[in-house]
Structure 1
Amino acid sequence: MADTYDLIVLGSGPGGYVAAIRAAQLGMKTAIVERERLGGICLNWGCIPTKALLRSSEIYHYMTHAGDYGLEADDIGFDLSKIVKRSRKVADQLNGGVKGLMKKHKIDVHEGLGTLIGKGKLKVEKDGAKTELTAKNILIATGARARDLPFAKTDGKKIWTYRHAMVPEEMPTDLLVIGSGAIGVEFASFYSDMGAKVTIVEMLDRIMPVEDDEVSAFMQKALTKQGMTILSGTGVQKLEATAKGVTAEIKHKDGKVEAKEFSHAIVAIGIVPNVENIGLETLGIKQLPNRHIETDGYGRTNVDGIWAIGDVTAGPWLAHKAMHEAVVTIEAMAGLKGVHAVDKGNIPGCTYSRPQVASVGMTEAKAKEAGYKVKVGKFPFIGNGKAIALGEAEGFIKTVFDEATGELLGAHMVGAEVTELIQGYVIGRTLETTEAELMQTTFPHPTLSEMMHESVLGAYGRPLHI
């Protein structure tokens, strides 16, 4: 006889395990089905372990620049295996934490490959054994994986995805990074700070193309100053692993094709949803042209009782978007009143490179395209006392307002710790705060957050420190 639940969650990434917890809190008998490790890609192979790596490179950068702070440090070096070991230890600790949360909330965990076999029915297979589960609702949270180049499969030795780049057995000497989104730029930053020569290739006309134009331009200059080579409007049309490394054919803006040698390459050109072999076709679940599952703002698919969240659905493909969707979807599933559909315009984006990048809402260009007459404020890090004291005086904060209403349309930051600062503007947008309320808010001194206030003031011709 099949085990019966109120909810079965297929996938235990940030969206999946948070959904299971919220469902359990609301009194649902809940199960999770996971084929690999609890916590999914983000916890085990993405968000968290990469930040551990980046922390190591950040500290190494400061150590090699100790003289800038009046300090002395000699014979500075690193052990790559220990850096990787620390990163994996962090992931293991959090994996154990998720296991504890499942136990705390009395959520059953079924290990194995889950497949929809009918409405409210799911089969779990592991090591030849099969278990059938049934539930009133099934939530698909199977996530996504790295996209391969169509002409060059990653081999884990010389041609890497993010998973390989997190557990390197050797340090690249001359690294090619294909793609300049958050993943590509973060790994470029890590390996550059650890001493590798890094080249970033981006097919579009600027790096970090989803960010504001001014942020992209700043990052191009900052990364170039650090020693990286940035090739925008450029494509890789051939990539081959050799005995010594990697050979790439790079097609430049002018059409010229150049063959170059690298020790390693990281392919960071996007993701592919994990939709194969999970039974979507069995129930006729609709998918978008890019194969992601189609949902409404509450996680509903076109099939009653089947829901989907996270990277397997439409973007942005971010862990915090999945977690927010999880709560909204479960509360809608439970019939709670006052549940708001996910507003993707209030989901921040963060890149943990050096310098960091963070944003929420519309860029200046997108706001103008949407027909807004805008007021724009910009404040540089060099005008902030805390930034100067930290030795982090490069960067800026930019805010975009609707001139007619004072609505905060977007905020864009580049510089130290901006991934922590951005949440202030996210709260502001969620509360539908206007420029007047932001101006009247007291920001503590001395902090980097004062630049947020100055940027707002600057949009209305009232900056105090520049």
Structure 2
Amino acid sequence: MSKYDVIVLGSGPGGYVTAIRASQLGFKTAVVEKENLGGVCLNWGCIPTKALLKSAQVFEYLKHADDYGLKVNDVDKDFGAVIKRSRGVAEGMSKGVQFLMKKNKIDVIEGFGKLKAGKKIDVTNDGKTTEYSADHIIIATGARSRELPSLPQDGKKVIGYREAMTLPEQPKKMIVVGSGAIGVEFAYFYHSMGTEVTIVEFLPNVVPVEDEEVSKQLERNFKKSGIKVMTSSEVTKVDTSGKGVKATVKTKKGEEVLEADVILSAVGIKSNIENIGLEDVGIATDRDKILVNDYYQTNIPGYYAIGDVVPGQALAHVASAEGILCVEKIKGMHVEVLDYGNIPGCTYCTPEVASVGLTEKQAKEKGYDIKVGKFPFSASGKAKAAGTPDGFVKVIFDAKYGEWLGCHMIGAGVTDMIAEAVVARKLETTGHEVLKAVHPHPTMSEAVMEAVAAAYDEVIHL
């Protein structure tokens, strides 16, 4: 039986980052992975979807070359080649993680891991089971596409995000159920490729976790581009008996039957906590999540959990941060508890959406007296020159102390801009400090400064 200081179960952006940090801190480390290094994020999520979205964006540019004074004839796409490029990007990133494992002298144990009492873990591969032990076992098994009883996935006509990335041929019609990040990203991709797309969202707004003004702007953009959006609507049943699929949708006005080649179920995720031995060890769970303290220790000493399997935002960067914090605490370092109120969220459709902190509605509900500033990209010289004038930056400040409560963006490249607000909020920067920090011109990012200026009635370019 091999003995380690730290064994990490799962090699996604939570698991492999945790393993690397553990190794850096001097721990003898191993990571257990049943499929591909990098987990869902690198192989079936964050990275390959961005490759698909980039292909869609380039295709859109080519189709609108006239807007830039350019002539491009016979623009078309090769759907299979687009998918192939995405898979190639994912494979390259996974190989990068393999390199990092070797560089950091981390043992990669292939197979399905199951926890045992006494800080042990059984790993089964090709019918053979091997036992390993460690002083510290960190669970980072991630999550998968959640299934609704009314929308069972068959992998062909009713699919999850995984199948959506590798469809053998492009569907003519697609229904996307759910308008969170996964739903709207795939809706944009397939629509850009030429598929007729309908989004069905149960709640009143698309991207429902975002500020209401952002949600309304994205819905306007989608409808303008030709995507059909049905909010306050619910798929109550599906019929896959025919050539395609029929979805019965309950709306405020009654029932409507939609027909399509395929339905993408994007209604959230389900934690991978079954059959990994939690019950055998006695690790406490609640509502599909493993219960942990501020340092990701479970109720059983020596066992920890991070990422999508614990409460908190199910995001790659959150899992990485949790894992680093977890092993640094194990090492005995002084660590600061993660601030879940300052986690940025990003959605990579076009226009992009990015946010951090409180929405305007949440700030009001918490009783803050607020200052709100908004700057549209239609007034940005860089955005106009780039041909991307849609969207805005919205900022929310506490009127009394100047605390930056929230920042919400929709527009081109805003996922790369939101970090300014995250760092500023971490440093407890006030509105006046942001306003007096000189921003470069012409850039998209100066819209942040302009929005802050608007909040304090000092805006110049509106």
Q: TM-score range by the shorter chain?
A: over 0.9
Q: Which residue of 1 aligns with 2:333?
A: 336
Deviates more, 1:432-441 or 1:373-382: 432-441
Q: Which residue of 2 aligns with 1:439?
A: 435
Give the whole-Å Cα distance in 1 for the aligned partners of 2:363 and 2:286. Answer: 26
Give the whole-Å Cα distance in 1 for the aligned partners of 2:286 and 2:229. Answer: 33
Q: Which residue of 2 aligns with 1:23?
A: 22
1:19 positional shift: 0.3
Structure 2 residues not aligned, in runs of 5+: none
1:294 positional shift: 1.4
Q: How does 1:154-173 map to 2 (within 5 A)?
A: 154-173=153-172
1:14 counterpart SS class: coil
**Partner amino acid for 2:460?**
L
Give the whole-Å Cα distance in 2 for the aligned partners of 1:367 and 1:59. Answer: 38
Match of 2:379 among 380, 383, 406: 383
Q: CA offsets, 1:229-257, max 9 Å, x none?
A: 11110000001224421110000023x11
Give the whole-Å Cα distance in 2 for the aligned partners of 1:247 and 1:101. Answer: 46
1:150 positional shift: 1.1
1:165 positional shift: 0.5
1:50 positional shift: 0.2
The question of whether the paired residues in 2 share the 8 Å contact of 1:377 and 1:460 is answered with: yes
Match of 2:314 among 280, 302, 317: 317
Match of 1:411 among 394, 407, 410: 407
Give the whole-Å Cα distance in 2 for the aligned partners of 1:272 and 1:154. Answer: 14
2:418 counterpart SS class: helix
- 1:397 correspondence with 2:393: yes
1:451 positional shift: 0.1
Q: How does 1:228-247 map to 2 (within 5 A)?
A: 228-247=227-246
- 1:266 correspondence with 2:264: yes
Q: Which residue of 2 aligns with 1:279?
A: 277
Give the whole-Å Cα distance in 1 for the aligned partners of 2:347 and 2:266. Answer: 14
Q: Which residue of 2 aligns with 1:460?
A: 456
1:288 positional shift: 2.1
**Partner amino acid for 2:289?**
H
1:317 counterpart SS class: coil
1:156 positional shift: 2.1
Give the whole-Å Cα distance in 1 for the aligned partners of 2:226 and 2:313. Answer: 30
**Partner amino acid for 2:286?**
L
The question of whether the paired residues in 2 share the 8 Å contact of 1:160 and 1:266 is answered with: yes
Q: How does 1:73-152 map to 2 (within 5 A)?
A: 73-152=72-151
**Partner amino acid for 1:261?**
E
Structure 1 moving runs of 4+ over 3 Å: none
Structure 1 residues not aligned, in runs of 5+: none
**Partner amino acid for 2:324?**
V
Q: Which residue of 2 aligns with 1:45?
A: 44
Number of aligned residues: 462
Q: CA offsets, 1:298-339, max 9 Å, x none?
A: 2111111111111111131110111111111111111102x1
TM-score (ref. length: structure 2): 0.99
The question of whether the paired residues in 1 share the 8 Å contact of 2:380 and 2:447 is answered with: yes
The question of whether the paired residues in 1 share the 8 Å contact of 2:150 and 2:235 is answered with: no
Q: CA offsets, 1:380-407, max 9 Å, x none?
A: 0011100000000010000001111111
The question of whether the paired residues in 1 share the 8 Å contact of 2:151 and 2:265 is answered with: no
Give the whole-Å Cα distance in 2 for the aligned partners of 1:409 and 1:302. Answer: 34
Give the whole-Å Cα distance in 2 for the aligned partners of 1:240 and 1:156. Answer: 14
Give the whole-Å Cα distance in 2 for the aligned partners of 1:316 and 1:440. Answer: 33
Give the whole-Å Cα distance in 2 for the aligned partners of 1:119 and 1:240. Answer: 49
1:201 positional shift: 0.4
TM-score (ref. length: structure 1): 0.98
Give the whole-Å Cα distance in 1 for the aligned partners of 2:179 and 2:312. Answer: 17
Give the whole-Å Cα distance in 2 for the aligned partners of 1:282 and 1:113. Answer: 16
